[in-house]
Amino acid sequence: TKHTNYLLLLQLNFTSLLVVHTMWKHLTRSALPSVAAIAGVSSRWADASNADNSASPSVLMMGTGEYTTGFVGGKAANSDKSTGVVGLVCLDLQQRGKISRLGMCGTNGSKIPGIRDHLQRVIGDVYEGLDPSVIETWPPDGVIDRKAFKIAAMDFQPGDCAIIFTPDDTHFEIAMACIDRGMHVMITKPPVKTLEEHKALAAAAAAKGVLVVVEVHKRFDPIYSDAVDRMQKLGPFSFMQSYMSQPKHQLQTFKDWAGKSSDISYYLNSHHIDLHEWAMKGSSRPERVTGVSSKGVARELLKGVDTEDTISLAVQWRNLQSCSTGHALYTSSWVAPKADVHSQQRFFYMGQSGEIAVDQAHRGYTMATDEAGFSNVNPLFWKPTPTNGRFTAQRCYGYISFESFVDAAKAINNEGKKPEDFDHILPTIATTAGTTAILEAGRLSLDNDGKPFDLVYSDASATVPDAIVPAY
């Protein structure tokens, strides 16, 4: 009897494994379901073979740089994003029926033919079913037009989506044009460089009834989001330290704007400052910011451009219920050496009754090749490696960030949702002003010999800053 039961158990287990294997094989060979549901956004299964995108918004990608196309300096980017992220995600979302038309707008039409060839080479020739030739482009080939975004936006309809990945100082004007058109807007971080512009965007979005969000994909990292949930049980905030870097060769990618229209703090510190603001959930607010920096390497590599190598922002926070204080030190650098990862990124958080440490760059997954040497791999963020010829990065948090935005826009257009319904689900423009204020105050401090700047609030319980002033 024991022998018979044992054989029966083995048979049942083997049958279960076959079922699981069959299901997994099906999943990896077809489009995966939306995981935006983890953020409360409506989702459904979508089969790429019979996708119906008739009720889906069209998407206009603003910007043709590395994160959108993976094309830099006439060739594939020398980074972990040589396929681009935005364009590839949008093509897959279109195949899954979540996007209708797909457009892309830059400023230099002479680059467009090269971008088309690049996208065909790294996407069309690699992933089954993805055709980059469907992307409409602005300005026309060979034409240079820095206001092409206005023409492109007018070719889309209210309720469509704009995804903005352009230099920081251009975000505000482009976003305003899209909001005026009635489009839902996603802007890469930082959304703007000043608190005044941030508040203006929030007001315009509210007046038009459109959704405006910041693209900060770390919110969808399962480890970071779990850490934020655990922080809620660690008592009032006491201390946080974060670090994020990129290798110095990236300065060549950013040479057109580095130290001219933005800096490394706006570019990288924005990740962890947003994480901190999100984690506090209104229980604590930033009040004083002091900036310090290192200089020398970037100035030499960029041939005299006066920009910082590394920036640290020291921020005093106040816990509103207890009036106790905490402080944070956010550090970012773009002069790191070539290492096992493209970007070092980690943080330490201490509440008054516990602490958390996260090293996002090292997930316990390493590889080594003769060509590239040793590396730590993070497919939780991005997975360009195809599976059986298909793109299968739908569960990566670099993908989910965009999918959640598109799903939310569709819910607003077709399901009676309102933009404010997503204020505590997605990083909306209405809930992220603190991060912009910290970044601006840090820049003001650096420009004034390290003098501290205070964030001013309307009253003792307010969490959205009204202004930034010198501390003394």
Q: Identify the bridge partners of residue 375 per DSSP, sorted by sequence position.
A: 367
The continuous run of DSSP H or E covering 411 comes out as helix 397-414
Do residues 194 and 255 both lie within one domain? no
Concatenate the DSSP letters of all residues of 440-460 into one string. HHHHHHHHTTT--EEEE-SST
Using CA atoms, how far apart are residues 327 and 158, in angstroms rounded to an integer? 43
* Shared-domain flag, residues 367 and 465: yes
Domain holding 170, by residue range, is: 36-216+391-426
Longest distance between any two alpha carbons in the chain, whole Å: 86
| 190 inside domain | yes
pLDDT digits (tens, 9 = 90+) for 27-41: 333 333 333 443 334
Q: Which of 137, 131, 136 is nearest to 119 (CA)?
A: 131
Q: Give the position of tokens 């965009």.
A: 402
* Residue 311 bridge partners (DSSP): 293, 332
Let me know if residue 6 belongs to a domain.
no
What pLDDT score was predicted for residue 394?
98
Q: Domain of 353: which CATH number? A: 3.30.360.10
pLDDT digits (tens, 9 = 90+) for 442-466: 999 999 999 999 999 999 999 999 9
| Domain assignment present for 1 | no
Instruction: Mark whether 272 and 192 lie in a shared domain.
Output: no
CA atoms of 254 and 216, how far apart (whole Å):
19
Query: Is 9 part of a structural domain of the chain?
Result: no
What pLDDT, on the 0 to 100 scale, is given for residue 77? 78
Write down the residue that tokens 């959108």 correspond to.
Answer: 68
Q: With left for phi above 0 and alpha for psi between -120 and 50, is residue 140 left, alpha or beta?
A: beta
Which stretches does DSSP call E strand in 320-352? Answer: 325-336, 345-351
75 CB neighbour count, 10 Å cutoff: 11
**343 shares its domain with 245:** yes
Are residue 196 and residue 236 in the same domain, yes or no?
Answer: no
- Which amino acid does the sequence have at 45? W
User: Which residue numbers in the chain have pLDDT < 50?
Assistant: 1-50
Q: What is the rounded CA–CA span in Å between residue 314 and residue 369? A: 40
CATH at 416: 3.40.50.720
The answer to the question of residue 181 being in a domain is: yes
Residues 102 and 182 in one domain: yes
DSSP sequence for 37-68: GGGT-------GGG---TTSPPEEEE--SHHH
Asked if residue 21 belongs to a domain, the reply is: no
The amino acid at 6: Y
Same domain? 196 vs 313: no
Domain co-membership, 125 together with 202: yes
27-60 exposure pattern, b = at least 16 Cβ within 10 A, e = fewer: eeebbbebbbeebbbebeebebeebebeebbbbb
State how many domains the chain has: 2
Report if residue 8 sits inside a domain: no
Q: Decide if 297 contacts 248 (C-beta within 8 A).
A: yes
Q: Is the pTM of this model over 0.95?
A: no
Per-residue confidence (pLDDT) for residue 51, from 0 to 100: 52
Q: Which helix (H) or strand (E) holds 251?
A: helix 250-253
Task: For residues 140 and 154, give the distance between their C-alpha atoms in angstroms, rounded to a whole number.
Answer: 15
Say if residue 150 is in the same domain as residue 206: yes
Is residue 81 one of the residues assigned to a domain? yes
Residues 270 and 187 sit within 8 Å (Cβ to Cβ): no
Helix H or strand E segment including 247: strand 237-247
CB 408 within 8 A of CB 428: no
Residues 83 and 59 in one domain: yes
